[in-house]
Amino acid sequence: MRTSDILVIAPNFKRRLSGVTSTIIQLLPLQAARSKAVALGPGLPPHVPRLPLRMLPALWRRPHGRPFRIWHARRNVEMLAGVVLRDLLRMPLKLVFTSASQRRHTGWTRFLINRMNGVIATSRKTADYLSVPHHVVMHGIDLQRFHPPASRDAAREELGLPERRTIGCFGRIRAQKGTDLFVAAMIALLPQRPQWQAIICGRATAEHRAFEARLRADIATAGLSDRILFLGEFPDVAPHYRTLDLFVAPQRWEGFGLTPLEAMASGVPVVAADVGVFSDVVAPGCGTIVPADDAAALMAGIADFLDDPERLAAAARAAFAHAQEDFPLAREVEELAAVYEAVWQAA
């Protein structure tokens, strides 16, 4: 795509994989075709359309067919960069910010939000914390990338996992994500259910490595090191969803949270804490919502599926159908395009 054709820039100023980065990776290939969008920044795979940093000065020239480009930020540092480019360097840009936070914004974040030309909330709950006009656009999921396997046994064999039914918990390893709640539930439930195992995909950053070490020690003490497996972080986690029979999202706090959607698109039912948009995403019949930070409720919700194969199978079918019907990525792309158009028209 020529620089003069670029209409939307999605900065990604965090090299480490995160939920925001995952969103950009999924959206940009479709947005490139629909809205002539590119990413800017490190940590993105080669297939994501991007603007090299050396080409940034080209943004002083207006794009073809529009009076300005959209700078779509998702983090404070990206909002700040947009303000500098627009207001200090006088580039022809208008700024859009997506907020996923479900807590009161800091004064600095509110200062930046008030300088945006458009604001998006990822859910109705998120919108409640905004004091500026906004649009609600819920995330979608890439249904080509996340899909059920022909055989879960074959999917496990391909990734070298033992031949057991599998429960998964994916995301960064830290207390906020509830990894300890998941491990405690597995230590309590797996000894009586030898046909089941658990996998944890994600990484612990330096400040959380002691937390991970304690979890590993608890697992070893329980004699379950061969059935509760830490697999690490993967550039593409989609194949690991296809090994699962049940997914658990035990977060204590979450802004939006893509993992339940990724699981359901892979034909996997979900037991999730009532945080973020999980209660909006996990529809009745697709899984179970339990109170946040409630170890007993989480354990009971998981056990209900482990001990009822027919319910598990029915929930898997319902989860897949729900993801296909209500959360295709194309729907999110179209709703974002409508927000961009509103910003262009307002100017």
153 burial (CB, 10 Å; 0-12 / 13-18 / 19+) is middle
CA triplet 98, 101, 107: central angle to 5 degrees? 90
Q: What is the mean pLDDT of residues 98-124?
A: 92
How far is CA 162 from each of CA 90, 168, 300, rounded to the nearest angstrom?
58, 14, 25
Query: Which tokens hold the place of 75?
Result: 């983090």
DSSP 100: -
Lowest mean pLDDT among 9-23, 114-128, 139-153, 284-298: 9-23
Give the pLDDT confidence of 185-229 residue by residue, as tens digits: 999 999 999 999 999 999 999 999 999 999 999 999 999 999 999
Report which listed range, 46-50, 104-108, 193-197, is most confident: 193-197
- Structural domains of the chain, with CATH: 3-140+328-346 (3.40.50.2000), 152-326 (3.40.50.2000)
Question: Using an 8 Å Cβ cutoff, are 166 and 196 in contact?
Answer: yes
Distance (Å, rounded) from C-alpha 146 to C-alpha 181?
26
The mean pLDDT of 117-127, rounded to a whole number, is 91
How far apart CA 203 and CA 212 sit, in angstroms, is: 9
For residue 171, is it left (φ>0), alpha (ψ between -120 and 50) or beta? left
251 phi and psi, to 5 degrees?
-55, 145
pLDDT recorded at residue 124:
83
CA distances (Å), 303 to each of 172, 194, 225, 250, 296, in order?
24, 13, 20, 14, 11
Given this model, what pLDDT does residue 67 score? 95
CA distance 259 to 247: 9
Phi and psi (nearest 5°) for 293? 55, 35
pLDDT band at 66 (very low <50, low <70, confident <90, very high): very high
The residue behind tokens 């496990």 is: 156
pLDDT tens-digit profile of 248-265? Answer: 999 998 877 889 999 999
Reading the block at residue 112, the tokens are: 């930046």
**Res. 101 pLDDT band, cuts 50 70 90:** confident
Count of helix runs (H) and strand runs (E) in the chain: 13, 12
Residue found under tokens 């391909």: 158
pLDDT average, residue stretch 4-16? 90
Amino acid at 56: L
Mean pLDDT in residue range 36-46: 90
Dihedral angle, C-alpha 154, 158, 162, 164, nearest 10 °: -30
- Mean pLDDT taken over the chain: 94
The pLDDT of residue 22 is 82
Distance CA 187, CA 180 (A): 10
Question: Cα Rg for the chain, rounded, in angstroms?
Answer: 21
Instruction: Kindly tell me if the per-residue pLDDT of 19 is higher than 80.
Output: no
Instruction: Please report which confidence band the pLDDT of residue 17 belongs to, taking 50, 70 and 90 as the band edges.
Output: low
Percent helix, percent strand, percent coil in the chain, to nearest 5: 45, 15, 40
Residue with the two structure tokens 């998941």: 182
Neighbours of 257 (CB within 10 A): 25
The alpha carbon of residue 68 and the mean position of all alpha carbons in its chain are separated, in whole angstroms, by: 29
Per-residue pLDDT averaged across 294-310, rounded? 97
Question: Average pLDDT of 42-49?
Answer: 87
Residue type, 200: I
Question: Which whole-number Å values give the CA distances from 198 to 13, 40, 70, 232, 327, in the listed order?
Answer: 33, 37, 43, 13, 27
List, for residues 152-165, the tens digit of each pLDDT value: 999 999 999 999 99
Residue 23, pLDDT > 80, answer yes
SS (H, E, C) 261-320: HHHHHCCCCEEEECCCCHHHHCCCCCEEEECCCCHHHHHHHHHHHHCCHHHHHHHHHHHH
For residue 119, the SS3 value is strand
What is the side-by-side order of every strand in the sheet holding 69-73? 37-40, 8-11, 69-73, 93-99, 118-121, 135-136
